[in-house]
Chains A and B, each alone.
Chain A
Amino acid sequence: MSSDITGRVNRRTLLTVVGGSGIAGLSGCVGFGGDGEGGDGGDGSGSDDGDGSGSDDGNGGSDDGGPDTIVFGQPGAQTGSFDFLQPGVSQAADAAVRHINEAGGPLGAELELVRRDTAVDPQEARTVTTQLVENDDAAAIVGLFSSEINPLWDFLQDLQTPVVTPWPGSTFLDTRGGDKGTPDDVSDDEWVWRTVVGDTVHTGGSAVYALEEGFETLGIINGNTEGERSYVDGFLSVYEENGGTVAERVEVELGSSSYQSALSRLFDAEFDAFLVSMPQESAITALSDWSDGGYGRQPILSDTLAQQAVIDQVGSDLHGAWAASPGRSGPSYDTFESIYLEEGDAEINGWTPPSWDAVQVTALAIERAGEATPEAIQRNLGPVSRGEGTTVSTFAEGKEALANGEEITYEGAATPVDFTEHGNVFGSVTISTAEEGGFVETTEVPAEDVREYVAEGEY
Chain B
Amino acid sequence: MGLLQELIFGLVTGSYIAIAAIGFTLIYGIVNMINFAYGEYLTLGAFIGFLAANALPGPLPVAVVAAMIGGGIVSIVLARGFFTPINNTGPVPMLLTSIGLGIALRNAIRLVGGRSARYFETETSTFRFDAIPDLAVGPVDLLGGVFVTSEHLIVIGSAVAVFVAIHALLTRTDVGIAMRAMGDDESLARVRGIDTQLIRDSVWVLAGVLAGLAGVLMAVQTNVSADTGFSHILQILSAAILGGAGSPYGAILGAYVIGIVLAVSTAFLPSSMTGLSSAAAFVILIAVLLVKPSGIAGTEVREA
In B57-105, which residues have CB < 8 Å from any A CB? 81-82, 84-88, 97, 100-101, 103-105
Contact of A261 among B84, B231, B263 (CB under 8 A): B263
State whether the Cβ of A21 lies closer than 8 Å to any Cβ in chain B. Answer: yes
A253 near B: Cβ within 8 Å?
A: yes
List the A side residues contacting B267 at CB < 8 Å. 261, 264-265
Contacts A258-B13, A264-B267, A294-B147 aside, 17 further interface pairs with beta carbons under 8 A come to A6-B197, A17-B82, A17-B85, A18-B97, A21-B101, A22-B100, A250-B274, A251-B271, A252-B274, A253-B278, A257-B222, A258-B9, A264-B9, A265-B274, A281-B222, A294-B126, A312-B119
- Say yes or no: is A37 at the interface (Cβ < 8 Å to chain B): yes
6 nearest interchain CB pairs?
A: A28-B107, A25-B104, A224-B275, A251-B275, A261-B266, A9-B85
Within 8 A of A (CB), among B240-277: 262-264, 266-267, 271-272, 274-275, 277
Q: Does B304 contact A (CB under 8 A)?
A: no
- Distance between Cα atoms of A252 and B277 in the complex (Å): 8
A39 to B190, CA, bound (A): 54
Q: Is A443 an interface residue (CB 8 A)?
A: no
Q: Pick the contact of B116: A4, A5, A84, A264 (CB < 8 A).
A: A84
User: Which chain A residue has the least Cβ–Cβ distance from B100?
Assistant: A22
B191, A1: Cβ atoms under 8 Å?
A: yes
* B86→A28 contact, CB < 8 A: no
| B218 to A, closest residue via Cβ | A257
B193 within 8 A of A: yes
Residues of A within 8 A of B115 (CB): 37, 78-80, 83
Report how many residues on chain B are interfacial, defined by Cβ distance under 8 Å: 65
A414-B97 Cα distance, complex, nearest whole Å: 49
Q: Tell whether B117 is near chain A: CB-to-CB under 8 Å.
A: yes
Is the pair A251, B223 in contact by a Cβ cutoff of 8 Å? no
Closest residue on chain B to residue A282 by CB atoms: B222
In this complex, the member of A84, A261, A284 whose beta carbon has the largest number of chain B beta carbons within 10 angstroms is A261
List A residues 30-79 near B (Cβ within 8 Å).
36-37, 39, 78-79
Q: B111 contacts A28, CB within 8 Å?
A: yes
A285 within 8 A of B: yes
> Which residues A260-298 have CB closer than 8 A to chain B?
260-262, 264-265, 267-268, 280-281, 284-285, 288, 292-294
A-B contact pairs, 24 of them (CB 8 A): A2-B195, A6-B197, A6-B200, A7-B85, A9-B86, A17-B85, A22-B100, A25-B104, A26-B104, A26-B107, A28-B107, A79-B110, A83-B116, A224-B275, A250-B266, A255-B227, A257-B16, A257-B218, A260-B9, A261-B266, A293-B147, A293-B149, A294-B126, A312-B119
* The one of B101, B126, B222 that contacts A292, using a Cβ cutoff of 8 Å: B126
Instruction: Check B5 against A264 for contact (C-beta < 8 Å).
Output: yes
A374 to B123, CA, bound (A): 55
A313 contacts B by Cβ under 8 Å:
yes
The residues in B between 109 and 141 inclusive whose CB is less than 8 angstroms from any CB of A are 110-111, 114-117, 119, 124, 126, 128
Question: Does the CB pair A25–B1 fall under 8 Å?
Answer: no
Q: How far is the CA of A250 from the CA of B270 in the complex (A)?
A: 9
B-side contacts of A250, CB under 8 Å: 266, 271, 274
CB-contacts of B33-51 with A (<8 A)? none
B223 touches A285 (CB 8 A): yes
B184 within 8 A of A: no
A157 to B193, CA, bound (A): 69
What separation, in Å, do the CA atoms of A417 and B225 have in the docked complex? Answer: 37
Contact indicator B107/A25 (Cβ below 8 Å): yes
- Taking the complex as formed, is A455 at the interface, i.e. its CB lies under 8 A from any CB of chain B? no
Cβ of A73 to closest chain B Cβ, rounded Å:
21
In the complex, the answer to whether B104 meets A28 with C-beta atoms within 8 Å is: yes
Q: How far is the CA of A7 from the CA of B218 in the complex (A)?
A: 36
Interface size class of A (residues with CB under 8 A): 35 or more
User: How far apart are B221's CB and chain A's nearest CB, in angstroms?
Assistant: 5
A140–chain B nearest beta-carbon distance, Å: 26
Minimum Cβ distance to chain B for residue A50 (Å): 15
Q: Are B87 and A6 in contact (CB under 8 A)?
A: yes
How far apart are B217's CB and chain A's nearest CB, in angstroms?
A: 9
Q: Which of B180-207 contact A (CB under 8 A)?
A: 187, 190-191, 193-197, 200
Evaluate whether A28 and B266 lie within 8 angstroms (CB atoms) in the complex, with A6-B196, A265-B274, A292-B126 already known.
no
A264: chain B residues at CB < 8 Å are: 1, 5-6, 9, 267
**A25 and B221 contact, Cβ closer than 8 Å, known pairs A4-B190, A264-B6, A292-B126:** no
Residue B108 at the chain A interface, CB threshold 8 Å: yes
When distances are taken between beta carbons in the complex, the residues of chain A under 8 Å from B216 are: none
Are B9 and A25 in contact, CB atoms less than 8 angstroms apart?
no
Chain A residue nearest to B197 in the complex (CB): A6
Shortest CB distance A417–B (Å): 30
Question: Residue on B with the closest CB to A220?
Answer: B271
Most chain A CB atoms below 10 A, which of B86, B111, B200: B111
- Bound state CA distance, A265 and B267, in angstroms? 5
Give, as a whole number of angstroms, the nearest-CB distance from A35 to chain B: 12
Chain A residue with Cβ nearest B190: A2
Contacts of B119 in A (CB 8 A): 284, 312-313
Are A292 and B149 in contact, CB atoms less than 8 angstroms apart?
yes
CB pair A257–B232 under 8 Å, yes or no, is yes
Contacts of A29 in B (CB 8 A): 103, 107
**CB-based nearest B residue for A18:** B97
Report the separation of the CA atoms of residues A84 and B225 in the bound assembly, to the nearest whole angstrom. Answer: 13
A224 to B269, CA, bound (A): 15
Other-chain contact of B100, A25, A80, A267 (Cβ < 8 Å):
A25
Q: Which A residues touch B227, using CB under 8 A?
A: 255
Q: Is B12 an interface residue (CB 8 A)?
A: yes
* A249 interfacial by beta-carbon distance below 8 Å: yes
User: At the interface, yes or no: A248 with Cβ under 8 Å from chain B?
Assistant: yes
Query: CB distance A28 to B110 under 8 Å?
Result: yes
B197 touches A7 (CB 8 A): yes
| Bound: A387/B197 CA distance, A | 78
B30 smallest CB distance to A (angstroms): 13
Q: How far is the CA of A83 from the CA of B97 in the complex (A)?
A: 30
Q: Contact check: which of B81, B84, B147 meets A6 at CB < 8 Å?
A: B84
Q: Which residues of A contact B81 (CB under 8 A)?
A: 17
Q: Which residue of A lies closest to B227 (CB)?
A: A255
Closest to B231 in A: A255
* Contact A2 to B223, CB < 8 A, known contacts A7-B85, A25-B108, A313-B119: no
CA distance A27 to B103 in the complex (A): 10
Of A39, A78, A265, A280, chain B has the most CB atoms within 10 Å of the CB of A265
Cβ B191 vs Cβ A28 within 8 A? no
